[in-house]
Structure 1
Amino acid sequence: MTKAGRFLLIALTLLCCAILPAHAGVADGPGANLEVSLITYGPGDIYWERFGHDAIELRESASGEEVDFNYGVFNFDEKNFFFNFARGRMHYLIDAEPTTDEENFYVQAGRSVTKQKLALTPQQTAALRDFLLWNLRPENAVYNYDYYVDNCTTRVRDALDHALGGVIKARLTQLPGGMTYRQQTVRLMSAQPWLMLILDLGLGPYADQPLNAWQESFLPEELQKNVRNIAVSDGRGGTQPLVQNETLLSPNRLDAPSATPPDLRIPLGLAGLIVAVLIIVTWRYAQLAHALLGSLFLLLAGLTGLVMLILWTLTAHHSAWSNANLLLFNPLAFLLMRSTWRAHRNMVPSRFANSVLLLQLIAMLLAPLMHLLPDVIQQNQPWILFALPCWLALAWSLRKPHTSLHT
């Protein structure tokens, strides 16, 4: 190419660059071109998906770029991940993905996807964008996860509230919540009954405190519902709904969680009666089976109490602290296991075992009496109904010699 030809090509390139519009993206677009939406994903089938998920979507109208910011990422390869998880020091972080990629994952999984476009001013939108980008920096991305007060939804809620100058919190703290942490947990985990029972057993009084709508917005579906009650300034001296429009982008194709938590009192009460009857029947007709059944109950009671005690004293799982179920199941049960085999040999418990058994019965009877006190809020009636007949039947069988049946 000649020198004149090269000059002409450069000139044409510069001319094209001058006349073609240059579009900024989400990261650098003006606030007036940014649209903010709350994206809510419905619960999934796997137990860690049962609470749902959400994200903040930013869309740059000129370029059409859409990015989802979510706070639900964790890394199994992190050093001491499972040890930190066990002691309640879980590390989560924020992530940003193209909206299409993020939403396609949930659509393919059959989970609902709902988009709520929010009314933020250009200044608020730009401030939200700048905060999210700041949060994405490696030194700011990680946070200490808490199931109820600092999770992927509360981080989204707090980011939106901060951008709006505290409007969301001011409104939602005035509204009562519909359920407690325990009720929401049991409701959402009811599809996995064994895990639901373990969680209900392990939750302490913290999970039964009355909640306002702000606190209950730790769940994506509750935040989605509650932002509909928020009004913001319209810039003309009036107000307008924060949610400008709401669109169901993809319907739920999975079994939806129950709208109310199951009542565990009847099934656990019946289970306790069945175990008690089995203890008495095996004591009467199959002493070896009685010893095995009694040892199994005491082993499980002791292990359960040991785990609850560890959660209270050695971990940061504050929702499991001060668990009154320790009155029902505790490590004292280990000290009684030998007595089941003494009973098998038609021997009464030792004086030490009798003292331990008496102490356990007193503790067990204190559990229902605590509900008469004004400041006791832990709702553990189902486990009282289960444990009471089991312990009474076991105590009766350990202290009654078999020979008394044949005189």
Structure 2
Amino acid sequence: MRNVLISFFLLLLASQATAITLSDSARISLLTCGPGEELYSKFGHSAIRIYDPVNHIDVSFNYGYFDYNTPGFYYKFVRGETDYQIGAVDTPDFMLEYRMLHINMWEQVLNLKQTEKQALFDALLVNYEPQNRYYRYNFAFDNCATRPRDMIARSIDGQLIFAPSIDKDHETFQQMIDQYTADEPAISFGIHLLFGAQADQVATLQQSFFLPERLMQAYATAMIKRDSIEVPLVIATSQPVKIVGHQHNPPFDYIPWIFGILLLFALYLSSIDKRRQRISFWFDAILFGLTGIVGIVLFYMNFFSLHPFVSHNWNLVWANPLDLMFVLFLPFKSLRRFAFYLQYLFLACVIFIFGGLFYLPQTFLFSQILWIGTLGLRSAMYLRLRKEYIRPKIKSA
């Protein structure tokens, strides 16, 4: 009920350009929430707190709200057409929520002049107006951390200066993302499959602030330069939600082992195929079929999704819909010759990837290399046994 009253109060304020003037006791803070367990919360969260005891205001604005009930939500999410919105919540309730989720929260009180505080508060209220509160979410370039970053920067009458020590040279978006997905090997592997070359671009300092913790770390040592005077951006730091957790050991990365075993099994099966002069079609139907399904997903994301990181994906060279076409050709004797020629293409793609590992503008995990190697091995086996393939005596599973 309290949040409903706050929302009504803010709507009332937003409808009046100068509805309230912050007192001299008001303070504005950046709230930073640590990573959570769920995928959507793994990268943390940011909010701007407005605290004014004289006017009885203690509300936190954040740009991380979205509606699951939006028609076609999941399709829009995949397409990159998800609209997020700014929300306002009672700060004690906001902190209680993260305390219940066992997620740490830090508060940095900003060293703003009274006019800057008022400008930021007014801008937030304008953003909160119904016609302004929605925005097109972008994981790296327009999210719950970049919006507070820009709102705070625009309110400051001066120049923000960041310490050179926090600007990590040659760190890519993918490397920063990997730090937050290292505890989930399957998620990390899936992201490396979906993300293309743009994710391996080196991020600028400002771009690195798409991660809330990076923004917090930068603010900790940042300075505001007004005329010739420099003052710290943050005047006080606290941790209103502190979770004492158990130390977790690094998780076991089982993904390379899965593909390592797959490659060893393919080697074993290929030696049997060579000795018997027969091809184990059942294995290749599974291997190339699954690769083709992955290729369809990558093809759709690369050409039809608006997410910036999924385009220019070199994984499409070795995992593409043609792999599935190969499987569909196998049951038909009249089409097997065409399927055979596809193996020439598949082997050429594998050779291209291996030849360009150190030159392509995209990094590949060891697990991906093992997968690609397995595909190349089986393609080479088809070419080695091409006569048996064109007029095969199909070996049963």
| Cross-structure match for 2:352 | 366
TM-score (normalised: structure 1): 0.80
CA 1:341–1:279: 2 relative to 1, 3 Å: farther
- Corresponding residue SS for 1:247: strand
1:46 maps to 2:22: no
Give the Å deviation of 1:282.
Answer: 6.9
| Cross-structure match for 1:18 | none
Give the Å deviation of 1:178.
Answer: 7.1
CA 1:254–1:83: 2 relative to 1, 3 Å: farther
User: Partners of 2:65 and 2:248 in 1: how far apart?
Assistant: 23
User: Partners of 2:166 and 2:158 in 1: how far apart?
Assistant: 13
User: Partners of 2:165 and 2:309 in 1: how far apart?
Assistant: 21
Give the Å deviation of 1:383.
Answer: 5.3
Give the Å deviation of 1:270.
Answer: 2.7
| Cross-structure match for 2:315 | 325
Counterpart residue type for residue 317 of structure 1: H
Please tell me whether the aligned partners of residues 162 and 218 of structure 2 are also in contact (alpha carbons under 8 angstroms): no
Give the Å deviation of 1:62.
Answer: 1.9
User: Partners of 1:319 and 1:173 in 2: how far apart?
Assistant: 27
Out of 387, 398, 403, the position equivalent to 2:371 is 387
Counterpart residue type for residue 370 of structure 2: F
Out of 325, 345, 353, the position equivalent to 1:335 is 325
Please tell me whether the aligned partners of residues 47 and 192 of structure 1 are also in contact (alpha carbons under 8 angstroms): no
User: Partners of 1:208 and 1:165 in 2: how far apart?
Assistant: 35
104-113 vs 193-202, which moves further:
193-202
Which structure has the bigger radius of gyration? 1
Out of 209, 221, 241, the position equivalent to 1:229 is 221
Please tell me whether the aligned partners of residues 24 and 114 of structure 2 are also in contact (alpha carbons under 8 angstroms): yes
Counterpart residue type for residue 92 of structure 1: Y
**Identity score, percent:** 24
CA 1:264–1:147: 2 relative to 1, 3 Å: farther
User: Partners of 1:161 and 1:177 in 2: how far apart?
Assistant: 23
Please tell me whether the aligned partners of residues 312 and 321 of structure 1 are also in contact (alpha carbons under 8 angstroms): yes
CA 1:169–1:322: 2 relative to 1, 3 Å: farther
Cα deviations by residue, 1:9-64 (Å, 9 ceiling, x for unpaired): xxxxxxxxxxxxxxxxx961336332111111111111111111110001114245
- Corresponding residue SS for 1:29: coil
Out of 253, 270, 274, the position equivalent to 2:260 is 270
User: Partners of 2:85 and 2:168 in 1: how far apart?
Assistant: 30
User: Partners of 2:365 and 2:59 in 1: how far apart?
Assistant: 47
CA 1:253–1:125: 2 relative to 1, 3 Å: same
Counterpart residue type for residue 249 of structure 1: P
Structure 2: give runs of 5+ residues left out of the alignment: 1-17
CA 1:297–1:209: 2 relative to 1, 3 Å: same
- Corresponding residue SS for 1:217: helix
Counterpart residue type for residue 326 of structure 1: L
1:127 maps to 2:90: no
| Cross-structure match for 1:14 | none
User: Partners of 2:277 and 2:157 in 1: how far apart?
Assistant: 70
Give the Å deviation of 1:279.
Answer: 4.1
Cα deviations by residue, 1:254-306 (Å, 9 ceiling, x for unpaired): 578999x9999965763553353354367479999943321111111111111
User: Partners of 2:86 and 2:280 in 1: how far apart?
Assistant: 54
Please tell me whether the aligned partners of residues 31 and 125 of structure 1 are also in contact (alpha carbons under 8 angstroms): no
| Cross-structure match for 1:12 | none
Cα RMSD over matched residues? 3.5
User: Partners of 1:256 and 1:208 in 2: how far apart?
Assistant: 31
Q: Aligned ranges for residues 85-234 of structure 1 at < 5 Å?
A: 85-165=77-157, 167-168=159-160, 175-176=167-168, 179-233=171-225
CA 1:291–1:31: 2 relative to 1, 3 Å: farther
Counterpart residue type for residue 246 of structure 1: T
Please tell me whether the aligned partners of residues 33 and 103 of structure 2 are also in contact (alpha carbons under 8 angstroms): yes
Out of 67, 73, 97, the position equivalent to 1:75 is 67
User: Partners of 2:221 and 2:249 in 1: how far apart?
Assistant: 23
| Cross-structure match for 1:245 | 236
| Cross-structure match for 2:10 | none
| Cross-structure match for 2:292 | 302
TM-score (normalised: structure 2): 0.82
Structure 1: give runs of 5+ residues left out of the alignment: 1-25
User: Partners of 1:207 and 1:268 in 2: how far apart?
Assistant: 25
Please tell me whether the aligned partners of residues 76 and 82 of structure 2 are also in contact (alpha carbons under 8 angstroms): yes
Cα deviations by residue, 1:137-186 (Å, 9 ceiling, x for unpaired): 01000000011111111111111111125734887899346732212222
Give the Å deviation of 1:213.
Answer: 2.0
174-183 vs 77-86, which moves further:
174-183
Counterpart residue type for residue 386 of structure 1: L
Please tell me whether the aligned partners of residues 166 and 218 of structure 2 are also in contact (alpha carbons under 8 angstroms): no
Please tell me whether the aligned partners of residues 219 and 233 of structure 2 are also in contact (alpha carbons under 8 angstroms): yes
